[in-house]
C-alpha cells in the first residue's frame, strides 16, 4: 500500500538515446514531469509516448539552478516526495518501495547511494552519497552549475538515509561540458567567498589543465573560513598536488599529497594518488608504502566520493610493482594475485603475475640449492596437533620453533601427524624464520613410520646432508645448540651423539645433577641452558640426538618390517643397529655430550605410554633375538632400562 505521492522531475535537452530507458526506470513514480530546454531530436516525443508530462522552456542565460527551479515548479503541489534525476541516470528497480519504507511525515530530505559511473562488469566505480530526494515545499535550487538544494523551511531540518535506494549514472562522453567553467566563474563573481563554488572552480581548472589557476584557486579555497569539510579539503589538496605534478614541481606535489593524507588519513584516495605519482618517478619505496597503507583502509567513505581507482585492482597492482622492484618478491606475488583476481582481463597484470611467479620460483630453487650446499645438518620433527588440545599443542610448537630459530642449521623436515592439513600447517609455520619441508598427510602413523619417512626424504632429496637430528615438540633450544654436537661428530668415530638435557623435574639425565628451579619464560630458559653446559661426555642416550646420515642409512634407520606399532622400542632398535654396525667386539655405546644442553620436558615418554607397547617389543625380539635384549641392558645407562632388558633377556 502506497502512503505518499511520489513525483519525479527532470530537465533535459536532446536525450533521445536515454529517454525510453529513463522512463522505464522512473515508472514506479505516481507522476513524471520533464522540463525540456530545447531538444531538436525525438526526446519529447518519446517521453510523452511513455507517459511523461513535458513542459518546454527557453532559459537565457543558461543556469542549472534556474532550470531546476522551473522544473520543480511544474510538479503539482500535492506531491509528497520529489525525486530529481537526469535522463542519463537510472534508479535500481524497487526504489519506490525502499523510499516509502524509509520516509516518514516530517522528513525534509533523503540521501541515497549514487554510482557516478560503473565498471564494465556493472560494479560501482566512482561512488558517493546523493541528495536529490526532498519534500515539495521547503527547497530551492542554488548555484549556476554544480547546483544543490537549499533548505528554506522554518522548522528544524530533518533528513534520512534511504538504505537500498541506488541511482546509477551512465555518462555520455560525447556531450560537451565546456559551459561548466564559464558558469563556475559566474558563480564566483556572484559569491566570491562561497567555498563550494571556489572548490569546484579550482577542480575545473585542473580538468582543463590550467594548473597554476587551479593551485591559486584551491589555496584560496583552503583559506576560506567556511571551508571546513575535511573530505573536500583533502580533495582540494590532492588536486593541488596533481597540478604541481603537471608543472614538474615534484617536491611541492609530494608535500601536498602528504597534507592531503594528514587531513583525511582514513580515505584511500590520497595514498593511491601519491603511489601513482611515485610510480611515474620510479620511487619504489614510496609506491609500496603508499599502496600498502591504502589497503589497510577497509571501509569506503559514507560522506564523500569514493574513486574507483582506490577500490579496484589499482592499489594491489601498485603494491605488487613496488614490492617487486624492492626485491620483496613474496609480497609482490601476494598483491599481484589479488590484482589479477579483481581484474582478470588486464593482460599487463597477467604478464606481471607470471613474471613475479617465475622470479619466486627461480629464487626458491636457488634457495634450495644454497641450503643443500651449505647445510650439512637437517632437523626432523614429528608434528602432532590434536583436535582436543589444539591451542595447547600450537603454543608448545611456537615455544619450540621460536627457540630453534637461533640454531645454526635452519632446515626442518616436518612429518605432519594431524590434525591440520598440510596447507593449514604451512600457514601456521609462516611465522618462523626456518626452512620447512612438510611431508605426511595429517594422519598419526606413529613414531617409527614418521621418523623413517623423514630419513628417507633426506636420503632421496638431500644426498649432501651429513647429519640428521631428531627433535621433539616439548623441547627448548639454546642458541647454536647443535654446533658442539656436529663438531664432536666431525672429530670422533661415532654414528650419533645425544645432547645434554634437563627435564621438567630438573633432572639432568646421566650427569648426576638435579636443578631445583627452572625458568618458565622461553628467553630466560635459553640463558639458563647456556649456564648448564660442561665438557662432560657420559654414557647414555637422550633426545635430541644427531645421527651421521650415511651410517644411519647403512643400518636402515627404523626397520618398519619389525616396528609395526606406533611407538616404543624404536630407539632400542636403532641402538642395536649401531652396535652391530661396529661389531660386538668394539663394545660401542651411546654417549651424551653436555657441551650442549636442551630442555626436554618429558625425556622418557615410554613411561607414560601404555597401549600397544608389546607390538614393537615383539618386533625387536624378532629382529635381534634374545641376545639383542642382553646387549640393550649394556647399551643403556638408566637403571630402569638396564633392569627391564635384563629381566626380559632372562625370560626368553
Question: Residue 604 has what pLDDT?
Answer: 43
The number of C-alpha atoms within 13 Å of 184 and in the hemisphere containing its C-beta is 20
3-state secondary structure of 375: coil
Q: Are 510 and 539 within 8 A, CB to CB? A: yes
605 Cα distance to chain centroid: 40
pLDDT band, residue 527 (cuts 50/70/90) = confident
In what order do the strands lie in the sheet containing 6-12?
53-56, 31-36, 6-12, 81-84, 127-134, 109-115, 159-169, 89-91
Give the C-alpha separation, 283 to 322, whole Å. Answer: 8
pLDDT in tens, 385-396: 998 889 899 999
What is the percentage of the chain residues whose pLDDT exceeds 90? 75
Domain 6-169 belongs in CATH node 3.30.930.10: no
3-state secondary structure of 268: coil
pLDDT in tens, 575-608: 999 999 988 889 999 999 999 999 998 854 333 3
Give the C-alpha separation, 497 to 82, whole Å. Answer: 88
pLDDT in tens, 202-231: 999 999 999 999 999 999 999 999 999 999
The whole-number average pLDDT for the span 327-343 is 94
pLDDT band, residue 312 (cuts 50/70/90) = very high
> Which of residues 7 and 526 earns the better pLDDT score?
7
Give the C-alpha separation, 566 to 564, whole Å. Answer: 7
Least confident window among 21-35, 110-124, 540-554:
110-124
Q: What is the mean pLDDT of the chain?
A: 92
pLDDT band, residue 610 (cuts 50/70/90) = very low
- pLDDT at residue 125 tops 90: no
Question: Residue 445 has what pLDDT?
Answer: 92
The whole-number average pLDDT for the span 1-12 is 90
pLDDT band, residue 369 (cuts 50/70/90) = low
- pLDDT at residue 1 tops 70: no
- Establish whether domains 179-363 and 375-651 are of one fold: no
pLDDT in tens, 44-78: 999 999 999 999 999 999 999 999 999 999 999 99
pLDDT in tens, 231-262: 999 999 999 999 999 999 999 999 999 999 99
Grid cell 619505496 — which residue? 285
Q: Are 306 and 299 within 8 A, CB to CB? A: no
- pLDDT at residue 556 tops 80: yes
Question: Residue 268 has what pLDDT?
Answer: 97
pLDDT in tens, 106-123: 999 999 999 999 988 888
What is the percentage of the chain residues whose pLDDT exceeds 70? 96
Domain boundaries, the chain: 6-169, 179-363, 375-651
- pLDDT at residue 80 tops 90: yes
What SS3 string covers 270-314? Answer: HHHHHHHHHHHCCCHHHHHHHHHHHHCCCCCCCCCCECHHHHCCH
Give the C-alpha separation, 412 to 414, whole Å. Answer: 6
Q: How many other CB atoms are there within 10 angstroms of residue 468's CB atom?
A: 25
Question: Residue 368 has what pLDDT?
Answer: 58
For strands 127-134 and 53-56, give the pairing: unpaired
Instruction: Give the right CATH number for 179-363 from 1.10.1060.10, 3.40.50.620, 1.25.40.10, 3.90.105.10.
Output: 1.25.40.10
Question: Residue 173 has what pLDDT?
Answer: 78
Beta strands in 430-544 (DSSP E): 435-439, 467-471, 475-476, 496-502, 507-508, 513-514, 537-539
Range list of H helices, 435-548: 447-461, 483-491, 522-530
The whole-number average pLDDT for the span 451-465 is 94
Give the C-alpha separation, 333 to 360, whole Å. Answer: 8
Tell me the three cell numbers of residue 66.
534556474
Q: Are 82 and 134 within 8 A, CB to CB? A: yes
User: In CATH, what is the architecture of 375-651?
Assistant: Alpha-Beta Complex (3.90)
Amino acid at each position: 500500500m502506497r502512503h505518499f505521492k511520489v513525483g519525479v522531475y527532470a530537465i533535459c535537452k536532446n536525450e533521445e538515446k536515454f529517454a525510453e530507458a529513463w522512463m522505464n526506470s522512473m515508472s514506479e513514480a505516481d507522476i513524471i514531469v520533464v522540463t525540456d530546454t530545447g531538444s531538436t531530436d525525438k526526446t519529447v516525443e518519446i517521453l510523452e509516448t511513455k507517459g511523461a508530462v513535458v513542459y518546454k522552456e527557453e532559459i537565457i542565460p543558461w543556469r542549472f539552478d534556474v532550470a531546476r527551479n522551473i522544473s520543480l515548479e511544474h510538479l503539482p503541489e500535492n506531491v509528497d516526495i520529489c525525486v530529481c534525476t537526469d535522463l542519463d541516470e537510472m534508479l535500481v528497480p524497487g526504489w519506490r518501495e525502499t523510499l516509502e519504507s524509509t520516509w516518514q511525515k516530517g522528513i525534509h530530505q533523503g540521501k541515497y547511494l549514487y554510482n557516478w559511473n560503473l565498471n564494465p562488469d556493472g560494479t560501482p566505480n566512482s561512488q558517493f552519497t546523493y541528495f536529490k530526494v526532498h519534500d515539495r515545499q521547503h527547497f530551492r535550487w542554488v548555484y549556476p552549475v554544480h547546483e544543490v538544494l537549499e533548505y528554506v523551511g522554518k522548522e528544524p531540518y530533518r533528513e534520512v538515509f534511504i538504505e537500498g535506494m541506488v541511482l546509477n549514472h551512465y555518462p555520455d562522453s560525447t556531450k560537451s561540458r565546456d559551459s561548466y567553467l564559464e558558469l563556475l566563474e559566474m558563480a564566483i563573481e556572484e559569491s566570491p567567498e562561497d567555498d563550494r563554488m571556489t572548490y569546484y572552480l579550482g577542480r575545473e581548472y585542473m580538468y582543463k589543465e590550467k594548473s597554476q589557476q587551479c593551485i591559486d584557486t584551491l589555496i584560496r579555497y583552503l583559506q576560506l573560513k567556511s571551508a571546513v569539510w575535511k573530505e573536500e579539503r583533502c580533495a582540494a589538496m590532492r588536486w593541488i598536488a596533481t597540478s604541481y605534478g603537471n608543472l614538474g614541481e615534484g617536491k611541492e606535489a609530494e608535500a601536498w599529497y602528504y597534507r592531503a593524507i594528514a587531513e583525511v588519513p582514513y580515505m584511500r584516495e590520497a595514498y593511491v594518488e601519491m603511489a601513482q605519482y611515485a610510480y611515474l618517478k620510479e620511487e619504489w619505496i614510496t609506491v609500496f608504502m603508499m599502496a600498502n597503507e591504502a589497503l589497510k583502509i577497509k571501509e569506503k567513505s559514507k560522506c564523500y566520493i569514493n574513486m574507483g581507482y582506490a577500490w579496484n585492482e589499482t592499489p594491489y597492482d601498485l603494491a605488487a610493482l613496488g614490492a617487486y622492484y624492492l626485491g620483496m618478491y613474496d609480497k609482490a606475488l601476494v598483491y599481484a594475485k589479488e590484482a589479477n583476481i579483481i581484474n582478470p582481463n588486464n593482460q599487463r597484470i597477467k604478464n606481471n603475475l607470471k613474471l613475479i611467479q617465475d622470479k619466486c620460483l627461480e629464487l626458491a630453487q636457488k634457495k634450495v640449492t644454497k641450503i643443500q650446499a651449505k647445510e650439512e645438518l637437517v632437523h626432523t620433527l614429528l608434528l602432532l596437533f590434536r583436535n582436543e588440545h589444539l591451542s595447547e599443542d600450537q603454543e608448545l610448537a611456537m615455544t619450540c620453533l621460536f627457540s630453534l630459530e637461533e640454531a645454526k642449521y635452519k632446515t626442518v623436515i616436518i612429518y605432519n601427524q594431524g590434525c591440520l592439513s598440510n596447507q593449514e600447517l604451512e600457514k601456521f609455520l609462516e611465522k618462523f624464520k626456518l626452512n620447512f619441508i612438510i611431508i605426511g598427510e595429517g594422519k598419526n602413523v606413529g613414531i617409527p613410520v614418521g621418523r623413517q619417512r623423514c630419513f628417507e626424504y633426506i636420503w632421496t632429496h638431500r644426498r649432501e646432508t651429513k647429519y640428521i637430528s631428531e627433535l621433539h615438540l616439548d623441547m627448548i633450544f639454546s642458541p647454536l645448540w647443535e654446533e658442539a654436537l656436529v663438531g664432536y661428530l666431525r672429530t670422533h668415530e661415532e654414528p650419533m651423539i645425544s645432547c645434554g638435557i634437563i627435564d621438567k623435574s630438573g633432572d639432568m639425565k646421566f650427569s648426576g645433577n638435579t636443578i631445583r628451579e627452572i625458568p618458565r619464560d622461553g628467553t630466560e630458559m635459553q640463558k639458563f641452558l647456556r649456564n648448564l653446559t660442561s665438557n662432560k661426555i657420559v654414557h647414555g642416550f637422550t633426545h635430541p640426538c644427531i645421527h651421521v646420515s650415511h651410517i644411519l642409512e647403512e643400518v636402515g634407520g627404523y626397520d618398519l618390517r619389525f616396528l609395526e606399532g606406533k611407538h616404543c622400542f624404536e630407539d632400542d632398535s636403532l641402538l642395536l643397529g649401531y652396535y652391530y654396525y661396529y661389531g660386538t667386539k668394539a663394545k660401542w655405546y651411546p654417549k651424551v655430550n653436555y657441551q650442549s644442553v636442551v630442555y626436554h620436558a618429558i625425556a622418557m615418554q615410554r613411561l607414560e605410554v601404555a597401549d600397544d607397547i608389546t607390538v614393537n617389543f615383539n618386533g625387536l625380539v624378532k629382529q635381534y633375538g634374545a641376545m639383542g635384549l642382553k646387549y640393550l641392558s649394556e647399551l643403556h645407562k638408566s637403571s630402569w632400562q638396564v633392569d627391564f632388558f635384563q629381566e626380559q633377556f632372562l625370560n626368553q
